[in-house]
Amino acid sequence: MSEPISFFSGFQVNDLVFLGEAAGRTLLISAVSITIGTIFGIFFGWSLQASKWLAQTTIGTILDIFRSVPLIIQLILFYNFFPIIGWNTGPFAAGAVVLSIYTAALVANVVRGGIEAVGIPMRRAARSLGMSYWQDLRYVVWPIGLRAVFPSWVGVALSVIKDSALVSVLGYMELLRASQILITRTQEPFIILACAGAFYFALSYPLSKYSQKLEESWTS
């Protein structure tokens, strides 16, 4: 009599490699989204502060929508909307676009807060010394505002790394989706999720630690 066929297998070393590769893809889409989102967020934040009424009624309204609507809904809507406008894109591109816009919406408020953290008297003093508007931004507002908002930006970056797990709904093989596949095959959710959590920690902890040392160097 033949032995029964088992469709499940235990957790193996190759599965850990599979999770590591998925963690690399998580890092890739997070890095792309954080970089692009931060660049646009700086511009949007400056716009919100420089032209309050006009920017608030246009850019501010759009950014509020992206901050308010759950990220998973944005991902599904945009992923299905892109083919309608003739842009046949894959899960990575769609996820990176949505995450970048989402990051920009969060960073914009952070940047605006940093600019407004610099007192009006200090900015007037800079202008009275003959500085132009852009010199005032570069030599006064940026150095002081950066120290004020840097912890908040780090919080946004760490949040985006974790939120990148939602791109799994589009079929992108990142860490969470890889974990789900392995759980289905091995039926060992505790081990798989523990490994996935360790990878997320390995991605986030260096950024948190480096930012902490950077802040300490600014105050020393």
- Summarised one tens digit per residue, pLDDT across range 14-54 is 888 888 899 999 999 999 999 999 999 999 988 888 776 76
Q: Where are the alpha helices (DSSP H) in the chain?
A: 13-50, 52-55, 61-68, 71-81, 91-117, 120-128, 133-136, 142-163, 175-186, 189-219
Cβ atoms of 158 and 208 closer than 8 Å: yes
Name the CATH topology of 28-173. MetI-like fold (1.10.3720)
Alpha carbon distances (Å) from 135 to 127, 138, 143: 9, 5, 12
Question: What's the pLDDT tens digit per position in 79-104?
Answer: 888 778 777 788 899 999 999 999 99
Query: pTM for the complete prediction?
Result: 0.85
Kindly give the interhelix angle for 91-117 and 13-50, rounded to the nearest 10 degrees: 40
**Span 125-154, mean pLDDT?**
83
Q: What percent of the chain has pLDDT over 90?
A: 21
Q: Which of 82-86, 136-140, 167-171 has the lowest mean pLDDT?
A: 82-86
Comparing C-alpha atoms, which of 16, 30, 35 is closest to residue 203? 30
What are the domain boundaries of the chain?
A: 28-173
Cβ atoms of 175 and 163 closer than 8 Å: no
